[in-house]
Every structure is written in C-alpha cells, then in structure tokens.
Structure 1
Amino acid sequence: MSCQGCVGAVKRVLSKMEGVESYDVNLQDQKVTVKGNIKPEIVLQTVRNAGKETSFWPAEGK
C-alpha cells in the first residue's frame, strides 16, 4: 500500500467479506490486522485478488 487510495481499496474488500468483524489498516507500517471468524489464507487471497501484495507478518523476535 502506498497511498490512501490503496487503503480505501483494502477497506472496501475487507468490509464485504463474510466473517470479518473488524480490521485496522496502517498505511505507515503497511500492515492490516483483521479480526473475525475467517481463515487468514482467505483474507490474503481476497486482498491479493484486489491487486495488492500480501504476506503474513513475520513472527516477532525472528
């Protein structure tokens, strides 16, 4: 994500996903936190299909 337009695109996709209860998009850190009853892999694939690069956060301390 490089701009507010990217943030808006990610928010639009997440807001339409069944099972997503809440999300936080942090442009500065380029991180998205999603909470809900949904498989993480599905979230990554859906956001990737919207044209955004995705990956899981690296484990802390590594």
Structure 2
Amino acid sequence: MAETVVLKVGMTCEGCVGAVKRVLGKMQGVESFDVDLKEQKVTVKGNVTPDDVLKTVSKTGKKTTFWEEGETAASA
C-alpha cells in the first residue's frame, strides 16, 4: 500500500536539493517525491515506511525530522 511521508529537511541550496534527490532516487519502493527548497519540505510517496525514509534522507547530513501538521518554513 502506498504511503506518503512528509519531512522537514534543513536544506540551504540547490546542492542540498540534489543530495536529497540522489538518495531518494536510489531508495527502493519510492514511486515519486517532491523537494521544496523554500519550504524545506520533502514529500515522498511509495511503498515505504516513514522511518526508512527518515533514515535515508538523514544520510545526506542535513537535519531531518518529520513534518508537523500546520508547520511552515517561517516557523522553523
């Protein structure tokens, strides 16, 4: 069953975005993902678990946490 996982990732530049895209592109079970630099938000859809997505994105060295409902980049 497809799961949607939303993360807050401490990205500051396009290089950060590229690093996140590279690790997600290699992750098994990922059907699609969206990386929003401005919002520092990463949305992943696929046959994945939230913990696996968090661990995978954390490999980039960026501060990574689960996105809280109602959170915005300004509240970071």
Normalized against structure 2, the TM-score is what? Answer: 0.76
Percent sequence identity over aligned pairs: 64
Match of 2:14 in 1: 4
1:4-48 deviations in Å (ceiling 9; x for gaps) = 000000000000000000000000000000000000111111111
Greater relative contact order (Cα < 8 A, sep 6+): 2
Q: Give 4+ residue runs of structure 1 displaced > 6 Å after superposition.
A: none
Of 40, 43, 48, which residue of structure 1 is paired with 2:50?
40
CA RMSD of aligned residues (A): 1.3
After TM superposition, the structure 1 = structure 2 runs for residues 24-35 of structure 1, keeping only pairs within 5 Å, are 24-35=34-45
**Bigger mean CA deviation after superposition, 43-52 or 27-36:** 43-52
Match of 1:55 in 2: 65
Match of 2:26 in 1: 16
